[in-house]
Amino acid sequence: MSDNHHEEAHTGPIKNPKQLLVAVLFSFVIPIFAIIGLVLYVTSADKPAAGAVNPEKAIAERIQKIGMVEVRDANRPLKSGEEVFKAQCSACHASGAAGAPKFGDAAAWAARIGTGFEALVQSALKGKGAMAPQGGGDFNDTEIARAVAYMANAGGAKFAEPAAPAAAQADAAPAAAPAPAPAAAPAAAAPTVAVAAAPAAAAAGAGEALYKQACQVCHAAGVAGAPKFGDKAAWAVRLPAGIDALYTSVAKGKGAMPPRGGSQASDADLRAAVEFMAAAAK
């Protein structure tokens, strides 16, 4: 009896292979997890605060604008439907590019006229198919509606051209007595400084304006095979011909593009638009 007790006192807590395996695993696993936790704790303490590395970028992200307000000249005379068509809509509707109903094609316009004038105007304002909202142009809603009436009437409709909102309100409101003119204040002589704009900058601005008004209808999305704006691969085969050759193609028309892109722009503005699109693809 005493011999057995003496033997157990010298054997230790591990009495079989299973206990030995568990002891070995714990002796390795627990220290490894402890080391990993310690490393994570130390490295997280060294991380810089948000915006500490590049404070200018952090500030710019916090104060960046969340919207854009576009101010247009509300006092300018509204364009007629024919003027808007020639400046904007003819780029696609003159030739029927990208499925657009061709101007004067009664068969193509018959089903559309049947939907009503308001439905046609909403399609033009919101965009439909390959046509961008407002045809991709820079006209107000009344001018777009006038262009819709002009094109639909050429296809057999009898829509009235919408009147200018201000004119309609003036007709409905009674005439008011003119207010007395305030006394004229003495004019203060102030020196004027004339600033001459650089010709190159003016030409670039005119080219961009014409692109947004007429060219982007097809070139923004690559409609009817038009080389997409900024697509270097699409313009790579055209640029080697030179600006003169590109301008001639635009002036005379090519493929689905009507002469001068369907616009009434001057030669200088037309060339500036070509140079603007070419520069964007270089």
Same domain, 85 and 65: no
Q: Is residue 183 part of a domain?
A: no
**Residues contacting 147, CB < 8 A, separation 6+:** 81, 84, 85, 88, 89, 124, 135, 139
d(CA 48, CA 188): 58
127 SS3 class: coil
What per-residue confidence (pLDDT) applies to 75? 67
Specify the pTM.
Answer: 0.44
User: Structure tokens of 262?
Assistant: 């369907």
Q: Is residue 60 part of a domain?
A: yes
Q: Is residue 190 part of a domain?
A: no
Residue 143's closest CA among 94, 80, 60, 77?
A: 80
What per-residue confidence (pLDDT) applies to 228? 85
Q: Is residue 148 part of a domain?
A: yes
Domain count, the chain: 3
d(CA 48, CA 55): 11
Q: Is residue 179 part of a domain?
A: no
- Backbone φ, ψ for residue 13 (5° rounding): -75, -25
Q: Is residue 268 part of a domain?
A: yes
Q: Is residue 2 part of a domain?
A: no
User: Structure tokens of 180?
Assistant: 């007395």
Residue 219's closest CA among 155, 130, 105, 112?
A: 130
Residue 109 zone, left/alpha/beta (φ > 0; ψ -120 to 50; rest):
alpha
User: Structure tokens of 13?
Assistant: 């807590």
Same domain, 35 and 65: yes
Torsion of CA 200, 206, 209, 213, to 10 degrees: -150
d(CA 150, CA 156): 10
Same domain, 97 and 56: no
DSSP letter at 135 equals G
Domain that holds residue 218: 199-280
**Residues contacting 90, CB < 8 A, separation 6+:** 103, 258, 262, 263
Same domain, 64 and 97: no
Q: Is residue 189 part of a domain?
A: no
List the chain pLDDT tens, one digit each, 282 residues: 455 555 555 566 777 788 888 887 878 888 888 888 888 888 776 555 554 556 666 666 666 555 555 555 556 788 888 988 888 888 888 888 878 889 998 898 988 888 888 888 898 888 887 787 877 677 888 888 888 889 989 988 888 888 877 554 444 444 444 555 555 444 444 444 444 455 666 667 777 887 787 787 788 777 777 888 888 888 888 888 888 888 888 888 887 787 887 777 788 888 888 888 888 888
Same domain, 59 and 91: no
Contact 94, 102 (CB under 8 A): yes
